[in-house]
Chain A
Amino acid sequence: MSEPVTEQGTWLHVKAAGMDLLLSTQDLREVVAHSPVAPLPGRPRGIDGVVIYQGEFLPVLAWKDLPGCEGSKAGPAAAMAVLRPRLGIPLDRLIGTMKVPLNTLKEADENDPAISWIAGVCEVEGQSFRVLDGDRLVALLRRFRGDR
């Protein structure tokens, strides 16, 4: 008898802001080499500045502004993941892709300060990964704007 098919997701395993993170490949436009970020005067919280991407300005995330990332020791960014809602995510390092059954994705602990921008936590081979949620992240950045 064959095993029941479990729905799997493909994730990009990255190191960003000193954390191990999983990004859903469905949320990604592409990953590009990191280019210097032009600082935006009076930048909105959560946005470091912009880079030119496909001839237009692309906002780049400021990890340090996100809950749970304050004081994070982010190294110099090596690459940038471009999310579908047109947001650049600086990455310290690309580690690889992995296929993970979706049923291993667990709700984040309600005390996890990153709960406002992650989809949950994934346990793979004894290691716990935060899974970035692009929609939540953009919603959080919009809330930051509204709070100004």
Chain B
Amino acid sequence: MDQSFDDVWAECEDLFAQARQTLVKLKSPQPAHVIQASVNALFRTTHTLKGMAGMLGFTSFSRAAHRMEDIFDLMRQGRLRSTDSVVETLEAGVLALESGLAGLRRGREEPEDYLHALRRQLGELEALARPAEGGTRDLTTMLDLSTELLKSLSEYERTRVTALLMNGVPIHGVTVCLDFATFDERLRLFNEVLGAQGELISTLPCDVPEGAEGLGFLLIVACATLDPASLPTLEGELVGTALLADPSRVPASMRNEVAVQPTEEPPPEPEAPAAPPQAPQAQEVEILRLPASRVEELEARLMAVGQLRDAASLLLHQPLAAGDDRPAAILGQIEDGLLEVQKSLLQMRMVRVESLFSRIEPMVKSLSRDTGKPVRLSFQGSDLELERNLLGRLSDPFLHLVRNAVDHGFESPSERLALGKNEAGSLRISASQRGRNLRFDIRDDGRGFDLERIEARGLELGMLKPGQTYTPERLHRLTLEPGFSTQTRASQLSGRGVGMDVVRAEIEALGGEIHLTSEARRGSLIRLTIPLSRVVLSCLRVRCAGQTFGIPLGSVVRVQAGKQVRHGGDQVQVLSQSMPLESLQACLGLPEPDGQRAFVVLGSQGAASKSVEVALGVDEIQGRGEVLLRSLPELAHASGIMGGSLQEEGILWVLDPEAVLGLAMDSLMRRVARV
């Protein structure tokens, strides 16, 4: 089996382990919200397994996972109750999939149906969840809402409203009118607060009160009582609450008659002593799977530092002559040793970007086959590394974006030919390191975002105001907002329920950013910027204005030192090529030096033929080394500085080569302007 799939296997194993734990939890009585959260988690797990299997080309496994996903979907909609026998059947299903996966890993052929042994039980569950004769029960009409808003509820939301009302839980509505500039952050806060009070069923755009400015939203939440004082309302924000549906008005014949999740805590045993306080829920822990060699490597490095410490201890007991530099030398060695330890620890958490790309390629092939749209797929930057926990969290957003590109972005082959394009769509995915950020660019040469349609839909949904002009940037951004979709129903390929707002939320939860641009008929670019928490960088150390700086080696084209004294604005010859020189001091706004004998040729990272190169004058070249980069807090962001690293002699500032190139060009332009 291809080694590049090791991470996929490991992740599948983790998913199965989580699924097993969740199913065990469902076997004991749990409060309704725990059951709902567990079923949601199982639904997501099987959804992810389905996607991963599809991506690896295991169609039969994918089909079986899809069937399990459907059953969890029925449960989360409240159509199927979590009883012991249901959980046992599902447990057997998950085990069948898990053992099937183990077989695949050993190179076995795929069976026709992984769930063959359970076909009768699963069939019964599906039949049990089928709506009773006479149609599906739907109590959403009890909600005190306009017909238009009622129509906007999804099937899942309708079933949740119905199930909760039948089980006696009131449904409340919270209307908020939020400022245009900050509504996304504010809305997220409202969602969090309400989600903590009960089950947040839906967030819908709605009209704002007459005379008010901003964006209106209706948040539908099910909880016994809603405390308006707990809402995070800011001064000037219009917030209203109302009871949308009272469960006491549900006809008695409809109460407690169907298989819905219990929403109250299970009643205590009559003679049981007072229940002890509940143990806190186990936190989700991150599990790292590592080759033993990496742990051994760390042990060896720790032992080396330990030996240095012993040597230092011996030295302390010896009389030292003045000028004896052994203590300084040993301190330097300890520092190097500790950096090695830090690197080992960091590497344990790192995985190559290739692992992420390897998940995309088979999926694109399969999508291309299913849609009949040939795709030219290319990757760049697969040798970069990202934190292992990011790999799992980036997979879904990436798969969604790529699906969107193929499903919606690319025209049909005949359309492309008619437009003078290559019959096969181009999908280029690149990764590059920008300081402590990893940047992913997903470019396609498809039809681009239909901004007119986005604007029309935004107006229709009340997310845009009529009579106003919206920039393309604003319209692109609108597609990332909760509640926005130009699709009346999701296509089979783009999956269910994972919209662009979810992609954005996931990226932002990682501290990253997503940015969209497109050009009609030319294609689109989706840029994801993800921060890494710590990075070890190989740097060239230079001295300048009495301070030490590090220049990431990836941007250093050449280093040159000689007797000739040079000044900012001079031209220097490097391998018969003339280029401008600017002092690092001038770039950073430090006092200009009298002249410098050394310079570093900086090139823009990752660029090929059109790279920009500038000679950067420095006072001294000190050599190369690896540093553990820490980022600067927002308030201390300084132009040209990417971050710093703690060194024995103080802080070493690591330059942001791209920014320094820009500063150098600006400074050179100012020199020209002054002449």
B352 CB-CB contact with A under 8 Å = no
Residues of B within 8 A of A142 (CB): 635
Interchain CA distance A38-B636 in the complex, whole Å: 12
**Inter-subunit contact B641/A59 (CB<8 Å):** no
Whether, in the assembled complex, B102 has its beta carbon less than 8 Å from a beta carbon of chain A, the answer is: no
B630 at the interface (CB under 8 A from A): yes
A52–B651 CA distance with the chains assembled, in angstroms: 10
Residues 545-556 of chain B, each 1 if its beta carbon lies under 8 Å from chain A, else 0: 101010000000
Contact A41 B635 (CB under 8 A): no
Q: Cβ of A145 < 8 Å from any Cβ of B?
A: yes
Task: Enumerate chain A residues within 8 angstroms of B141, measured Cβ to Cβ.
Answer: none
Q: Is B637 an interface position by the 8 A CB rule?
A: yes
Contact with A along B290-313 (1 / 0, CB 8 A): 000000000000000000000000
Taking the complex as formed, is B644 at the interface, i.e. its CB lies under 8 A from any CB of chain A?
A: yes
CB distance from B100 to the nearest CB of A (A): 46
Q: Is A93 an interface residue (CB 8 A)?
A: no
Residues A42 and B638 in contact, CB atoms below 8 Å apart: yes
Known: A41-B590, A41-B653. A59 touches B639 (CB 8 A): no
Contacts of A86 in B (CB 8 A): 633, 635
Q: Which residues of B from 634 to 657 have beta carbons under 8 Å from A?
A: 635-641, 644, 646, 650-651, 653
Please indicate the chain A residues that have their CB under 8 angstroms from the CB of B640 in the complex: 41-42
Determine the distance from Cα of A94 to Cα of B547 in the docked complex, in whole angstroms.
Answer: 33
**Chain A nearest Cβ from B648, distance in angstroms:** 13
The segment from A13-21, A43-51, A98-106, A110-118 that touches chain B is: A43-51
Question: Roughly how many angstroms separate A131 CA and B639 CA in the complex, as a whole number?
Answer: 32
A44 pairs with B653, CB closer than 8 A: no
**Known contacts A41-B545, A41-B588, A42-B589; A47/B636 CB under 8 A:** yes
Find chain B residues with CB under 8 A from A58 CB: 633
**Distance, CA A141 to CA B646, complexed state (A):** 25
* Contact residue among B545, B549, B651 (Cβ-Cβ distance under 8 Å from A50): B651
Report chain B residues within 8 Å CB of A38: 644, 650-651
Pairwise interchain contact B632-A57, C-beta atoms closer than 8 A: yes
Nearest-CB residue, chain B, relative to A49 = B636
Q: Are B635 and A47 in contact (CB under 8 A)?
A: yes
- Out of A56, A87, A138, A145, name the residue touching B637 (CB < 8 Å): A145
Interface on chain B toward A: helix, strand, loop, or mixed SS?
A: mixed
- Complex alpha-carbon distance, A142 and B633, angstroms: 12
Known: A50-B644, A57-B644. A40 touches B638 (CB 8 A): yes
Count of residues in A whose CB is under 8 Å from the partner chain: 23
For B646, the chain A residues whose CB sits under 8 A away are 52
Q: How far is the CA of A86 from the CA of B638 in the complex (A)?
A: 17
**A120 and B632 alpha carbons, distance in the complex (Å):** 31
Q: Bin the interface of chain B by size.
A: 20 to 34
Residues of the B chain whose Cβ atoms lie less than 8 Å from the Cβ of A59: 632-633, 635-636
Most chain B CB within 10 A, of A41, A58, A142, A145, is at A41
Q: Which of A41, A44, A50 contacts B547 (CB 8 A)?
A: A41
Q: Mark contacts of B604-648 with chain A using CB atoms, 8 A cut-off: 1 yes-contact digit, 0 otherwise.
A: 000000000000000000000000001111011111110010100
> A140 → chain B, closest Cβ, in Å?
11
A141 touches B635 (CB 8 A): yes
Asked whether A40 lies within 8 Å of B633 as measured between CB atoms, the reply is no
How distant is B9 from chain A, measured CB to nearest CB, in Å?
A: 35
Contacting residues, chain A, for B653 (C-beta < 8 A): 40-41
A43 — nearest CB in chain B belongs to which residue?
B638
Collect the chain A residues with CB atoms within 8 Å of residue B651's CB: 38, 50
Q: Which residue of B lies closest to A47 (CB)?
A: B636
Taken residue by residue from 76 to 108, chain A's Cβ proximity to chain B (1 for < 8 Å, 0 otherwise) reads as 000000000011000000000000000000000
A100 to B589, CA, bound (A): 45
Contact with A along B405-423 (1 / 0, CB 8 A): 0000000000000000000
Chain B positions 210-249 with a Cβ under 8 Å from a chain A Cβ: none
Residues of chain B within 8 A (CB-CB) of A49 are 636
Q: Which residue of A lies closest to B589 (CB)?
A: A42
CA distance A57 to B652 in the complex (A): 12
Q: Please give the distance in Å from A94's CB to the nearest CB on chain B.
A: 24
Which 4 A-B pairs have CB atoms at the shortest separation, nearest pair first?
A59-B636, A42-B588, A41-B588, A59-B635
- Knowing that A41-B590, A42-B640, A138-B635 touch, tell me 8 more A-B residue pairs with CB under 8 angstroms: A38-B650, A41-B589, A44-B636, A52-B646, A57-B630, A59-B636, A87-B635, A148-B639
22 pairs, A vs B, C-beta closer than 8 Å: A40-B632, A40-B636, A41-B588, A41-B590, A41-B653, A42-B589, A42-B590, A42-B639, A44-B635, A44-B637, A44-B638, A47-B635, A50-B632, A52-B646, A57-B631, A57-B644, A58-B633, A59-B635, A86-B635, A87-B635, A141-B635, A145-B637
Residues of A within 8 A of B (CB): 38-44, 46-47, 49-50, 52, 56-59, 86-87, 138, 141-142, 145, 148
